[in-house]
Structure 1
Amino acid sequence: MGKRVELQHVIFAVIFLLFVMVNGQPVNDTDFWWHLKAGEYIWQTKTVPHADVFSYTMSDKPWIAHEWLAEVIYYLAYSLGNFRGLFVLNLLLLALTYYFYYQLLQLRTGKNSILSALLMLAGAFFTYFFWGFRPHMFLHLLFVIFLYVMECFYRNRDYLWILPLLIIAWVNLHGSFIMGPVIIGLYLISGIFAIQLPTLVNRLWTPAQKRKLLAVLLMSFLATLINPNSYHMLFYPLQTVNSDFIVNQINEWASPDFHEPYFMVYLGYVLAGFALMGLGQRKHRAVDLLLVGTFFLMSLYAVRHIALFVYGAGPVFGYYLAALLPKNSLYKHEHIFNGVSAVKHLLNGVLVVGTLIAAFLVWPPEVPLEKHVEARVLPVGAVNYMKQHRLYGKVLNDYNWGGYILWTLYPDVRVMIDGRTDLYAAKVFPDYLKIANLLPQTPQLLQKYYPDAIIIREGTSLDAYLSKYRHWQKVYADETAVIYTPVVKGRHGT
Structure 2
Amino acid sequence: MSCTYHIANRGIADPDIWWHLRNAEYLLKTHHFIRADMYSYTVNGLPWINHEWLAEIPYYCAWRMWGLQGIFLVMICLIEAIMLGTYYLGYMAGGNAKSAFLASWIAMFLATVSFGPRTLLFGWAYLIILLAVLWRYRQRGEGPLWVLPPLFLLWVNSHGSWLIGMVVLWIFIVSGLFSGMGDAAKAMRWRAAQLKGLLRAAAFSMLALFVNPYGYRLVLYPFDFAFRQNLNVSNVEEWASVDFHGLRGKILLASVVVVLVMKVIRKQQWSLESLALFVFALYASVTYSRFLFLAGIIFTPLLAVSLDMIPAYRQEKDKPLINAAFMMAALLFVALRFPSESSLEADIQNVYPGPAVAALQALVRQNPGPVMHDYLWGGYMIWQCRDVPVFIDSRVDIFEYNGIVKEYFDFTNLRNSFEILDKYKVRYALLEKDSAQAYLLAHVSGWRVVYSDRVATIFERVP
Q: TM-score, normalised on structure 1?
A: 0.87
Contact between 1:82 and 1:368, CA under 8 Å: does it hold in 2? no
Deviation at 1:100, TM superposition (A): 2.6
**Shift in Å, 1:204:** 0.3
Give the Cα separation in 2 of the matches to 1:349 and 1:143.
31
Q: Which of 54, 57, 60 is the equivalent residue of 1:69?
A: 54
CA contact (8 A) 1:142 1:166 kept: yes
Aligned residues of 1:277 and 1:317 also touching (Cα < 8 A): no
Summarize the alignment of residues 38-49 of structure 1 with structure 2, pairs less than 5 Å apart: 38-49=23-34
1:431 aligns with 407
Match of 2:262 in 1: 276
Query: Which runs of 5 or more structure 2 residues have no equivalent in the other structure?
Result: none
Q: Secondary structure at the match of 1:178?
A: helix
Which residue of structure 2 lines up, in the alignment, with residue 414 of structure 1? Answer: 389
Q: Give 1:366 shift.
A: 4.1
- From the superposition, tell whether residues 352 and 295 of structure 1 become closer, same or farther in structure 2 (CA, over 3 Å): closer
Residue 178 of structure 2 corresponds to which residue in structure 1? 193
State the alpha-carbon separation in 2 of the partners of residues 419 and 269 from structure 1.
Answer: 33
1:404 corresponds to which of 369, 374, 380 = 380
- Residues in 2 aligned to 1:136 and 1:119: alpha-carbon distance in whole angstroms: 22
Provide the C-alpha distance between the structure 1 equivalents of 2:270 and 2:28, rounded to a whole number of angstroms.
49
Q: Could you tell me which of 120, 125, 134 is aligned with 1:141?
A: 125
Partner secondary structure for residue 86 of structure 2: helix
| Partner deviation per Cα, 1:236-279 (whole Å, 9 max, x = no partner) | 11121223322211111111121223312221122212222333
Cα distance, 1:43 vs structure 2: 2.0
CA distance in 2, matches of 1:82, 1:169: 25
The verdict on how the C-alpha distance between 1:279 and 1:330 changes in structure 2, with shifts beyond 3 A counting, is closer
Q: What is the one-letter code of the residue matched to 2:86?
A: Y
Q: Check 1:425–1:360 CA distance in 2 against 1; reply closer, same or farther (3 A cut).
A: same
Q: Summarize the Cα distance change of 1:459–1:90 in structure 2 as closer, same or farther, 3 Å threshold.
A: closer
Query: Contact (CA 8 Å) 2:428, 2:461: kept in 1 or not?
Result: yes
Give the AA of the match of 2:421: L
In 2, Cα distance between the equivalents of 1:259 and 1:198? 33
Distance between the aligned counterparts of 1:345 and 1:267, measured in 2? 37
Q: Residue 363 of structure 1 is aligned with which of 338, 353, 361?
A: 338
Runs of at least 5 residues in structure 1 that lack an aligned partner in the other structure: 1-14, 339-343, 489-494
> 2:99 aligns to what?
115
Does the Cα contact within 8 Å between 1:23 and 1:87 map onto a contact in 2?
no
* C-alpha separation in 1, matches of 2:268 and 2:8: 39
Q: Distance in 2 between matches of 1:275 and 1:317?
A: 11
Q: Deviations over 1:102-140 (max 9, x none)?
A: 322221012x11111221222112212312101011011
Query: Compared with structure 1, are the counterparts of its residues 393 and 150 closer, same or farther at alpha carbon in structure 2 (3 Å cutoff)?
Result: farther
1:453 aligns with 2:428: yes
Q: How far apart are the structure 1 equivalents of 2:86 and 2:247? A: 26
1:330 aligns with 2:311: yes
* 1:263 matched residue in structure 2: 249
Give the distance between the partners of 1:272 and 1:68, measured in 2 at CA: 40
1:383 corresponds in structure 2 to: 357
Post-superposition shift, 1:23?
4.6
CA 1:379–1:280: 2 relative to 1, 3 Å: same
Once superposed, what is the RMSD of the aligned Cα atoms?
2.1
Shift of 1:381: 2.2
Instruction: Tell me what 1:127 maps to.
Output: 111
Q: Post-superposition shift, 1:416?
A: 0.3
Secondary structure of residue in 1 paired with 2:211: coil
Aligned partner letter, 1:191: G
**Paired AA for residue 102 in structure 2:** L
Q: Which residue of 1 aligns with 2:165?
A: 180
* Residue in 2 that maps onto 1:100: 85
Equivalents in 2 of 1:255, 1:32: separation in Å? 24
Shift of the 177–199 alpha-carbon distance from structure 1 to 2, 3 Å rule, reads closer
* 2:296 equivalent in structure 1: 310
Equivalent pair of 1:17/1:358 in contact (CA under 8 Å): no
Q: Distance in 1 between matches of 2:100 and 2:320?
A: 24
* Residue 319, structure 1, aligned to residue 295, structure 2: no
Farther off after superposition, 69-78 or 160-169: 69-78
Correspondence list, 1:175-254, <5 A: 175-197=160-182, 200-242=185-227, 243-254=229-240
- In structure 2, how many angstroms separate the alpha carbons of the residues matched to 1:265 and 1:486? 49
Counterpart residue number, 2:278: 292
The CA deviation string for residues 173-210 of structure 1, in whole angstroms up to 9 with x for no partner, is: 00111122211100011110234425532110011111
Instruction: Report the AA paired with residue 69 of structure 1.
Output: L
How far is the alpha carbon of 1:62 from its aligned partner?
Answer: 1.7
Deviation at 1:32, TM superposition (A): 1.9
The 8 Å contact of residues 255 and 303 in structure 2, kept in 1 or not, is answered as no
Q: Which amino acid aligns with 2:379?
A: G
Alignment of 1:452-491 (within 5 A): 452-488=427-463
